[in-house]
Amino acid sequence: MRRLLVLGAGTAGTMAVNKLRPRLARDEWRITVVDSSDTHHYQPGYLFIPFGIYRPDEVSKPLRRFIPTGVDLVSGEIDLVEPERQVVRLADGTELPYDYLIIATGTTPRPEQSEGMAGSEWRRSIHEFYTYEGAVALAEKLKTWEGGRLVVQIVEMPIKCPVAPLEFTFLADAFFTEQGMRDRVDLTYVTPLEGAFTKPVASRYLGDMLEDRRVALEADFLLERVDPAARTLISYDEREIPFDLLVTVPVNMGADYVARSGLGNELNYVPVDKQTLLSRAHDTIFAIGDASDIPASKAGSVAHFSMETFTENFARHVEGRQMIHRFDGHANCFIETGHGKGLLIDFNYETEPLPGTYPLPGVGPFSLLKETELNHWGKVLFRWMYWNVLLPGKQLPLPALMSMAGKQRVPS
Ligand SMILES: Cc1cc2nc3c(=O)[nH]c(=O)nc-3n(C[C@H](O)[C@H](O)[C@H](O)COP(=O)(O)OP(=O)(O)OC[C@H]3O[C@@H](n4cnc5c(N)ncnc54)[C@H](O)[C@@H]3O)c2cc1C
């Protein structure tokens, strides 16, 4: 029997085992997936918990439910990969040998990477919504917060779902308006980028939307440290931003075992070929989802769109055939903008988000870079799609690679 070992049963790892199990003959391949958690979280739902739109129990399900029959699930903390021996060691000492390894252990926020962040004010005046616990704690905080200076801040790129902090800001504006206390909240959006977003056209649209909502934009802000006593953010160029409530997106990093195993870059992401997801260093290792260093958004949609080319290529690679399919970095993100509306962006490695309609030219029904109610319903429906279509590895009636159909070219 040949052994395929998948590290991580989150979005990408779960989709991969569901796609690969039917592709790899059961009498030839044993597939094992390892995860330290017994719960699968729908992370896009974390955004809605602070505002009471989702209850915490609406974003979690038992992880085992999504692992298909014919795949072994091992519960444990991954401690080390030994690529030369083709063995993975767990924290309890168990050794799992493999012929092929897929790394899918994602990325997590690391507040301890910024001086002053994870100290005395953590979960008091300094909050985050990138973890389940953080989103729940922030919901509690917002129930009694009486207003003041609310600063939404990104420490450093890349982060998973780079639009989520903008969505949080739009939803905060709507939430405080609906609570009748918007006048008592001074909202500031702080980013290390030059503008509201990574790509010029979308950055212009999203920057205008911040302005319309009376949100101050503090761009090019590279955080040096947080002064928790003074409740102030301090940048390397000595700008200071005071806050009463800070909602931060801390530095995001891949799993620590990746670094210990000598498999990662400085942020513990695995360097791979951006079209095939094969490790640059090892012919038997792939990295999928947020765990890799591909220059695409770290998003569930990217993990999903990459899965088609990845599984085709994987099946060819293990048979000694050339990998002929090329992933293009396709990302597709609904951006919740508050008051029952949303925006949609669709882009890839080469093409930035452009206005237009999606997926059909003229017809849509979704609008690109335009606020509509239908885009909001797209985001709402996405949760159902996630549990019922994407995770089980079912086919979506949408092309996996980005299409220019419906997109309008505009100058950057
Ligand atoms: C607030 C927020 C909003 C988001 N919104 C969107 C959105 O609207 N659209 C979108 O497409 N994406 C969104 N995302 C991003 C999306 O959730 C991630 O990109 C996606 O989950 C990545 O999948 P993954 O499998 O790479 O990692 P994960 O889904 O994070 O899975 C990693 C798995 O590895 C396991 N693991 C890690 N380390 C170890 C270890 N050492 N030992 C054992 N197990 C380990 C974890 O327990 C986890 O199960 C959002 C994310 C957040 C936080």
Mean pLDDT for the stretch of residues 54-83? 97
The CB of 298 under 6 Å from ligand 1? The reply is: yes
pLDDT given for residue 410 in this prediction: 81
**Do β-strands 223-227 and 95-97 pair in parallel, antiparallel, or remain unpaired?**
unpaired
Mean pLDDT for the stretch of residues 165-178? 98
Q: How many Cα atoms are found within 13 Å in the side-chain-facing hemisphere of 231?
A: 17
Mean pLDDT for the stretch of residues 224-232? 97
Task: Pick left, alpha or beta for residue 129 (phi over 0 → left; psi -120 to 50 → alpha; otherwise beta).
Answer: alpha
Which pLDDT band, with edges at 50, 70 and 90, does 243 fall under?
A: very high
CA of 150 to the centre of ligand 1 (A): 26
State percent of the chain over pLDDT 90. 96
State percent of the chain over pLDDT 70. 100
CB 73 within 8 A of CB 33: yes
CA-nearest residue for atom 2, ligand 1, is 44
128/119 Cα distance (integer angstroms): 14
Nearest to 45 by CA among 329, 336, 290, 249: 336
Q: Is the dihedral of CA 285, 286, 292, 296 positive or negative?
A: positive
pLDDT above 80: residue 412: no
Q: 297 burial class (0-12, 13-18, 19+ CB within 10 angstroms)?
A: buried
pLDDT given for residue 200 in this prediction: 87
pLDDT given for residue 104 in this prediction: 98
pLDDT given for residue 214 in this prediction: 97
| pLDDT tens, residue by residue, 358-410 | 999 988 899 999 999 999 999 999 999 999 999 999 988 888 999 999 999 88
The CB of 258 under 6 Å from ligand 1? The reply is: no
The CB of 255 under 6 Å from ligand 1? The reply is: yes
The CB of 167 under 6 Å from ligand 1? The reply is: no
Cα dihedral 294, 300, 305, 309, rounded to 10, equals: 60
412 compared with 177, residue with greater pLDDT: 177
CA-nearest residue for atom 4, ligand 1, is 44
pLDDT given for residue 142 in this prediction: 98
The CB of 47 under 6 Å from ligand 1? The reply is: yes
Nearest to 391 by CA among 45, 5, 6, 17: 17
The CB of 391 under 6 Å from ligand 1? The reply is: no
Provide the mean pLDDT of the chain: 96
CA-nearest residue for atom 50, ligand 1, is 44
